[in-house]
Chain A
């Protein structure tokens, strides 16, 4: 099965019914229904009930649905899990994860609730957010702390606050953290997802930052406004040239494979497994069905 694209993950305030009911139509790859920072402290209960109801009724189409719950050290975290886990959204996002023990603590609750609700084969995966210096220091161990973790993400605003620095447009203060989190995530085969870009009106700035984080290994970016979706997709989408090349690599690969040949050459350059894997990724991002290529080669 092709891995889900997570180019764009749109935060939607958990207490905003107008936005939640439209979450499936903004064209982003995933929505993050937020019970944490986007909800005022005195509305946590109302948001939790609203998101619980909406998860059961709103049509999200093929948009991946993630719920960001409150940290387990707050009075709200466990209550969030009790309402949300039984509904098994595609994923739950845990903010301010700092240690392996944090992961163990919330996964214990997740598994308990799933068991209590008779969920034998849970489908929900876990996203951990690294938003503190301590979390960055422990990130490799955190990323591998539970097999249900399939993505790791950086929270830029909280991290800069924790570091006592100002978040600057060039992102220099969190650059080390970004790269370290990428390495830790990649080492465990996870998707690594970037933090938000706060200035909704700065389309050029968003594009530059997205190009940068794509280059250093992020699979996608969190967004705060639907207007940011297209810009981010444009950066992550392969160019026509890349798609054409990938198409050629993959069809040659299938042709040679069918003939029992492993390594082959295109235009005098050797094509080995990593090159094929890269071509597959490009084709997946371009929404091209690999089976169709396989069939056209076979016929």
Chain B
């Protein structure tokens, strides 16, 4: 599936992650930009977690921007899922 709308989920609070999704053209692939307060320690882990959720939701083409404040894995997964679903227009809750 390919995101249709700009969408976001999460907050800038500590232990949370703000995920923004921008639609891109088909075939554009995934572009994931991460900034994090624990970049040195968890950059790869955050990227892997995001990719896993995108795989599960079958999202191949997307620009995803994540601003992390030390969110745990279940939080990262929840925010990516919420943002993706919002960008697909399949769930209540908007920007």
Given A17-B16, A18-B14, A18-B16, A46 and B79 contact (CB-CB distance below 8 Å): yes
Given A17-B71, A57-B73, A46 and B78 contact (CB-CB distance below 8 Å): yes
- Say yes or no: is A38 at the interface (Cβ < 8 Å to chain B): no
A43 to B10, CA, bound (A): 9
- Say yes or no: is A21 at the interface (Cβ < 8 Å to chain B): yes
Residues of A within 8 A of B75 (CB): 17, 21, 50, 53-54
Q: Which of A28-54 contact B (CB under 8 A)?
A: 42-46, 49-50, 52-54
> Which secondary structure dominates chain A's binding surface?
helix
Q: How far is the CB of B1 from chain A (nearest CB, A)?
A: 17
Residues of A within 8 A of B77 (CB): 53
Partner of A45, one of B11, B14, B91: B91
- Give me 9 other A-B pairs in contact (C-beta within 8 A), A21-B72, A45-B85, A57-B73 excluded: A17-B15, A17-B78, A18-B15, A46-B79, A46-B82, A49-B82, A53-B77, A54-B75, A79-B92
Partner of A46, one of B9, B13, B71, B72: B9
Given A16-B13, A18-B15, A18-B16, A45 and B71 contact (CB-CB distance below 8 Å): no
Q: What sequence of 0s and 1s flags, for each residue 53-95 of chain B, a beta carbon within 8 Å of any chain A beta carbon?
A: 0000000000000000001111101110110011000011110
Residues of B within 8 A of A45 (CB): 82, 85-86, 91-93
A197 to B45, CA, bound (A): 41
- Residue in B closest to A54 when the chains form the complex, CB atoms: B74
- Say yes or no: is A296 at the interface (Cβ < 8 Å to chain B): no
Partner of B93, one of A16, A46, A53, A57: A46
- A58–B74 CB distance below 8 A: yes
- A42–B72 CB distance below 8 A: no
A298 to B71, CA, bound (A): 54
A40 to B71, CA, bound (A): 21
Partner of A42, one of B81, B85, B94: B94
- Say yes or no: is A76 at the interface (Cβ < 8 Å to chain B): yes
- Say yes or no: is A287 at the interface (Cβ < 8 Å to chain B): no
- Residue in B closest to A46 when the chains form the complex, CB atoms: B82
- Say yes or no: is A268 at the interface (Cβ < 8 Å to chain B): no
Residues of B within 8 A of A21 (CB): 15, 72, 75
